[in-house]
Amino acid sequence: MKTIGILTSGGDAPGMNAAIRSIVRTCIYNGIRVMGIRFGYDGLIHGNIYEMNVSSVADIIQRGGTILGTARSDEFMTDRGKQKAVGILEDFGIDGIIVLGGDGSFRGAEALAELGVNTMGIPCTIDNDMGYTDYTIGFFTAVETVSSAISKLRDTSSSHGRANIIEVMGRECGDIALYSGVSSGAESILVPEVPFRIEDVTNKIESGRKRGKLHHLIVLAEGVGRAHEMQGQIEKITGVETKVTVLGHVQRGGHPSSYDRLLGTEMGSKAVELLIQGKTSMALATRNNQIEIIPIKEAVSIKNTFNQSLYRIAQEVSI
């Protein structure tokens, strides 16, 4: 292993930069050349690649986003695109690549592995929707951002005696809604994994009112539906003024939490070590506080499991 390439792909996630820094420094420490591939698979097939050094990753551990840039590439998805990628890697003398991203990015890495490229995958997405690992890099930073926003909304919700719906990201996964809802004491948490009736929400608003509770915070995962549609239903049934906040891309940015920096640093270092040992087509995971590896092919086929136990606790403590 003489030269390793790094690529970030799909939605950015806080902590990606910590992982990039770790990969670059571990490579250099071990006498390996390291190349940054800009803008994901799209940059790869267009040869948008540069050599990195110790200073390339100075002052980035605390920064959100990805210094390499990211993109989605239709061209890479074609057979021709993948062949082109293999050719470019050969041209630049890259012996192995480390891919930072979610499911889609891992499928790209697996496709390259099938064409003979040495690959490693590091799970990075705020959604935490990769079932093979307990947590993905970026998830807890997003949870922190959402919890902090909900706490601010709680103040104004109480002052005005309103209900507030906070729509959060996560695609088909309710983890951001669940973890941030629990940590900010939201009254209702609506996730795609658990069916609900609108009456479950409105009855709670009404019983809360009877006890003199002024605020009502509803965290809605985007995979359930749109907050603006629910707003009208709640107002019609309860007569309580209801406001909507769609947090959007603010959830993807910001300083990574210490946990995401640590995970990025550990996984980045481990990915290089594994490539040096001649391992390939593996995905890194954190399970029970240990860094583990499993084949990428298996990683992308494992379905996400919803934390039912935390959801039950949320139901019990938000009565």
Query: Tokens standing for 55?
Result: 């200073």
Chain residues in the site for ligand F6P (CB under 6 A): 11, 102, 125-127, 169-171, 222, 252
171: Cβ contacts below 8 Å, ≥ 6 apart: 127, 129, 222, 223
Nearer to ligand F6P, 127 or 144 (CB): 127
C-beta nearest to ligand F6P: residue? 169
Q: Using CA atoms, how far apart are residues 261 and 257, in angstroms rounded to an integer? A: 6
Q: State the virtual CA torsion across 229, 235, 240, 244 in degrees, nearest 10.
A: 20
- Reference 267, options 170, 158, 153, 138; nearest CA is 138
Nearer to ligand F6P, 42 or 187 (CB): 42
Nearer to ligand F6P, 69 or 102 (CB): 102
Query: Tokens standing for 223?
Result: 């995979």
Q: Is 127 a catalytic residue?
A: yes
What are the C-alpha distances in Å from 306 to residues 104, 130, 252? 20, 11, 21
Q: Give Dmax (Cα) for the chain.
A: 71
Nearer to ligand F6P, 70 or 307 (CB): 70
Cβ atoms of 294 and 281 within 8 Å: the answer is no
* Candidate list 103, 127, 129, 260, residue with the active-site label: 127
- Determine the 3-state secondary structure of 300 from DSSP: helix
Tell me which residues are annotated as active site.
127
